[in-house]
């Protein structure tokens, strides 16, 4: 099971303050739109997403089909296949990808401590 790029999506109170803080740690804007209250920032292989007002908790994120530079991986495990394998292992889904579709899709699970994990395929 290839999970793709890993990042932490942070729920922030003020995206401008958080952007400056993480820039001081050496992160640079890699993607997103600060005017829409979200940014993706990167420091070497470390990726964080800053999201203001979009969700309540911090989220662990995997992007099947992408590496840490948002470049396509070949081969990769489709998000629906990852979902199927996890369901077969008894993992409970908080939201599910439609199994009959292709291309972009996502699903969410939660670990035993209540940490949400997003599997978000963009291709």
39 touches 48 (CB < 8 A): no
Average pLDDT of the residues in 15-23: 98
Indicate if the pLDDT at residue 59 is higher than 90. yes
| pLDDT score recorded for residue 9 | 97
List alpha helices for the chain, DSSP H. 15-24, 79-88
Q: What is the CA radius of gyration of the chain?
A: 15
Indicate if the pLDDT at residue 1 is higher than 90. no
Rounded distance between C-alpha atoms, residue 44 and residue 46, angstroms: 6
- pLDDT tens-digit map of 92-107: 999 999 999 999 999 9
62 touches 5 (CB < 8 A): yes
Mean pLDDT, the chain, integer = 96
Indicate if the pLDDT at residue 109 is higher than 90. yes
Average pLDDT of the residues in 32-58: 96
Please name every residue paired with 51 in a beta bridge, in sequence order, or none if there are none. Answer: 11, 38
């Amino acid at each position: 099971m290839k999970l793709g790029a890993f990042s932490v999506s942070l729920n922030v109170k003020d995206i401008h303050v958080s952007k400056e803080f993480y820039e001081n740690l050496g992160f640079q804007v890699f993607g997103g739109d600060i005017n829409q209250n979200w940014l993706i920032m990167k420091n070497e292989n470390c990726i964080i997403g800053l999201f203001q007002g979009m969700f309540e908790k911090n989220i662990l994120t995997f992007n099947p089909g992408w590496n840490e530079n948002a470049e396509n991986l070949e081969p990769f495990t489709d998000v629906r296949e990852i979902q199927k394998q996890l369901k077969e292992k008894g993992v409970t889904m908080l939201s599910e990808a439609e199994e009959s579709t292709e291309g972009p899709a996502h699903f969410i699970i939660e670990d035993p401590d209540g940490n949400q994990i997003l599997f978000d395929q963009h291709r």
